Amino acid sequence: MEYVKGVPLLRPYIDYDNQEFWLAHREEKLVFQKCTYCGKIIHRPKPMCPACLSTDMEWIESTGLGTIYSWTTFVYDRAAYPGIRVPYIVVLVEMSEGVRLVSNIEDVTSEEMYIGMPVEVFFDKVSDDLTLPKFRKRKVKK
Partner 1 sequence: MKSIKNKVAIVGIGLSGFSKDCKKTELRMACEAIKDALDDAGLTPRDIDGMIKQTDDSADEHAITSAMGMPNLTFYGETRWAGAPCGMVMQAATGVAAGACHTAVIYRAVNGGSGLRSTPSMRSSGQLSTADLLHWAFHSPFGLMTEQGAVAMLAERYMYEYDIKKDQFGPITVTCRQNGAKNPNSAYFKKPITMKDYKESKMVTDPLRALDCYEKFDAAAAFIVTTPERAKYLNHPPVMILGAAQGSVPETENMCGYYRDDVTGLPEMAVMGKRLFKMAGVKPKDIKFAQLDDAYTPLVPMQLEALGFCKKGKGVNFCGDGKKIKAGGRLPVNTAGGSLGEGHIHGMNHVIEAVHQIRGTATLQVKNAKIGLVATGAGGPAGGLILGR
- Residues of this chain that interact with Zn ion (CB under 5 A) are 35, 37-38, 40, 49, 51-52, 54
With CB cut-offs between 5 and 8 Å by kind, which of partner 1, Zn ion, none does residue 35 bind?
Answer: Zn ion
Q: Where are the beta strands (DSSP E) in the chain?
A: 31-35, 41-42, 57-61, 65-74, 88-95, 100-104, 118-127, 130-137
Judged by beta carbon, residue 109 or residue 142, the one nearer partner 1 is 109
Candidates 20, 37, 65, 100; binder of partner 1 (CB under 8 A) is: 100
Backbone angles phi, psi at 22, to 5 degrees: -75, -40
From residue 73, alpha-carbon distances to 13, 77, 111, 139 in Å are 24, 11, 10, 22
Candidates 65, 80, 106, 122; binder of partner 1 (CB under 8 A) is: 80
CA distance 9 to 83: 7
72 binds partner 1 (CB under 8 A): yes
Residues at the interface with partner 1 (CB under 8 A): 1, 9-13, 15, 18, 43-44, 50, 69-76, 79-84, 88, 90, 92, 99-104, 110, 115, 126, 130, 132, 134
